[in-house]
Chain A
Amino acid sequence: MKRNSVAIVGASETTELGKVPSMSQVQLHADAALNALADAGLKLSDIDGVATGGHNAVEIAHYLGIVPKWLDGTSVGGCSFMLLVRHAAAAINEGLCNTVLITHGESGRSGLGRHGSSIFPSLFQQQFERPFGVTRPPTMFTIPVLRYMKDFGLTEETLAMVSVVQREWAGKNPRASFKDPITVDDVLNSKMICYPFRLLMCCLVTDGGGALILTKADRAKDMPQKPVYIRGTGESAETPMISQMADFTSSAAFRVSGQQAFESAGISHADVDHLMIYDAFAHLPIYGLEDLGFVGRGEAGPFIAEGNTRAGGKLPMNTNGGGLSYMHSGMYGMYALQEGVRQMRGTAPAQVPGAEISVVHGVGGMFSASGTIVMTNVA
């Protein structure tokens, strides 16, 4: 990865988020793509590389009328878009294409035009997990947490604080699904979903989409938006089965992806002004803060509860309100990237003053895969 050699020059979410019964999934992709093209001052004919996750990339290219020179359909869950940014940057640097469009669309709530799972099924999971009653993500993603709580003394109250702080950020964001403040008691009194997880510790289920356009950094200077440079990247994968995660208190995929991203970016943790950690459930920012190395093992819960990640704290995190309060279509990674871009452009609803480096970290499946992008507005 050549530092800052590729930039994000177009970025947008779908015109509407939340409940979008007027669009099937492929149109959510297209709506976001057309918005991102307008944002970048480009036309469909300028795009020669197409990438998407969770949807057939061929259908996206065809629907948009593009015959691409480069195509990527990596589908490893919600962090697919972090991996696609990384792959696109490599392809642009290699000269395989000039201008890449990465799209996401998901009719997560309305279920219009979805075709099965966004992640490939696992043969092992079919035999060795599904017979024991795992169904939707709350019954799988949450399984490691009681182990973590025992080993590190994390309490339900501290876990609930993740949701409370993220709702504070959502309150500053007009597009957030839920904006009303909540308390620890509200979280702990919300409906039990999958012990020890209550409703307010689980992500939303919404419709929406987003798109990014990447090109060479030297071209970006002449384009309408402030360029957001790709400074470092990482990716990894551990297991399609939550039961086979080697250590229930730490994600190998997070550690490998995060380390590559920090090393390729040439930054230390103190350099990071803004952080996004994919929060499908309340424990994910805790695992992310530790596995990326921002805090020591067992320290992330208190770090959040003490207010370090809230507005004005030393490490503003999940500033759009996150998957817990902003929106979560199923593959939330695209929205975390969009917020990273907004922060680097200086246009976020809850802008971190003077932010120059943003780390955007994603998870795919149930701790299955991971991708990490370091963005900057400093060439």
Chain B
Amino acid sequence: MANGERELPRPTPETQNFWDGTKAGELRLQQCGDCENVYFPPRHFCPGCGSKNVAVLKASGRATLNSYVISHLPAPGFTPPYAIAVAKLDEGPKMMCNIVDSPQTPEALVIDMALEVSFEKINDDITLAQFKPAGGQ
């Protein structure tokens, strides 16, 4: 059984726009206007070239399951076993997530399977970007 509460993100000035995005149902990345680098996590400059000419890029929400583990260890707010995954977005960046709407088993979670973003509202301030198997309901 889950004990305690899941640790929630504490947005910073550099990341607030990302968390505003998830609340609005958008997965927001950033793209450099000079070298076209698409990056995550957000910051006020491009980590590829140092340019401050960066803009928000709304991601498609499509991704693949790049890698994962299924943790059997206790964690606040989680009921083991649960998967901790990394989604590789079609736009390039990788993002940690849980896989929702799926059994948490090696049989159900196949490396490179197609995923799509699924926003999980935790409270009025925080909505997490999670992923689920693509093509589900």
Using CB atoms and an 8 Å cutoff, list the residues of chain A in contact with chain B.
123-124, 126-136, 138-139, 142-147, 150, 191-197, 241, 243-244, 248
Given known pairs A127-B15, A132-B98, the reply for A195 and B86 (CB within 8 Å) is no
Min C-beta distance of A196 to chain B, whole Å: 8
Q: Report the separation of the CA atoms of residues A158 and B86 in the bound assembly, to the nearest whole angstrom.
A: 24
B9 contacts A127, CB within 8 Å? yes
Min C-beta distance of B131 to chain A, whole Å: 10
Number of A-B contacts (CB under 8 A): 100
B9 contacts A132, CB within 8 Å? no
Min C-beta distance of A240 to chain B, whole Å: 11
Q: Report the separation of the CA atoms of residues A241 and B9 in the bound assembly, to the nearest whole angstrom.
A: 14
B6 contacts A133, CB within 8 Å? yes
Task: Report 27 cross-chain contacts, Cβ distance below 8 Å, ordered by A residue.
Answer: A127-B41, A128-B95, A133-B77, A133-B82, A133-B98, A134-B96, A135-B73, A139-B75, A142-B69, A143-B68, A143-B69, A144-B67, A145-B67, A145-B69, A146-B68, A146-B111, A147-B111, A192-B81, A193-B73, A194-B70, A194-B72, A195-B81, A195-B106, A196-B69, A197-B69, A241-B96, A248-B67
Given known pairs A143-B69, A197-B69, the reply for A132 and B97 (CB within 8 Å) is yes
Q: Report the separation of the CA atoms of residues A134 and B75 in the bound assembly, to the nearest whole angstrom.
A: 8
Q: Report the separation of the CA atoms of residues A131 and B6 in the bound assembly, to the nearest whole angstrom.
A: 6
**Any A CB within 8 A of the CB of B124:** no
**Any A CB within 8 A of the CB of B112:** yes
Given known pairs A132-B84, A244-B94, the reply for A146 and B67 (CB within 8 Å) is yes
- Interface residues in B49-93 by Cβ distance below 8 A to A read 66-75, 77-78, 81-82, 84-86
Please name the residue on chain B nearest to A193 by beta carbon: B72
Please name the residue on chain A nearest to B66 by beta carbon: A147
Over the window 103-137 of chain B, the binary record of Cβ atoms lying under 8 Å from chain A Cβ atoms (1 yes, 0 no) is 00010000110000000000000001000000000
Lowest 9 A-B CB distances belong to which pairs? A195-B70, A147-B67, A127-B9, A243-B96, A133-B78, A130-B7, A133-B75, A150-B111, A194-B69
Over the window 12-44 of chain B, the binary record of Cβ atoms lying under 8 Å from chain A Cβ atoms (1 yes, 0 no) is 100100000000000000000000000001000
Of the candidates B12, B72, B112, which one forms a contact with A127 in the assembled complex, judged by CB atoms under 8 Å apart?
A: B12
Q: Report the separation of the CA atoms of residues A142 and B7 in the bound assembly, to the nearest whole angstrom.
A: 21
A150 contacts B112, CB within 8 Å? yes
B67 contacts A131, CB within 8 Å? no
Across the interface, which residues of A come within 8 angstroms of B70, CB to CB? Answer: 194-195
Q: Report the separation of the CA atoms of residues A193 and B15 in the bound assembly, to the nearest whole angstrom.
A: 33
Across the interface, which residues of B come within 8 angstroms of A130, CB to CB? Answer: 7, 9
Min C-beta distance of B124 to chain A, whole Å: 16
Please name the residue on chain A nearest to B81 by beta carbon: A195
B111 contacts A138, CB within 8 Å? no
Q: Report the separation of the CA atoms of residues A132 and B75 in the bound assembly, to the nearest whole angstrom.
A: 10
Of the candidates A131, A143, A191, which one forms a contact with B9 in the assembled complex, judged by CB atoms under 8 Å apart?
A: A131
Across the interface, which residues of A come within 8 angstroms of B82, CB to CB? Answer: 133
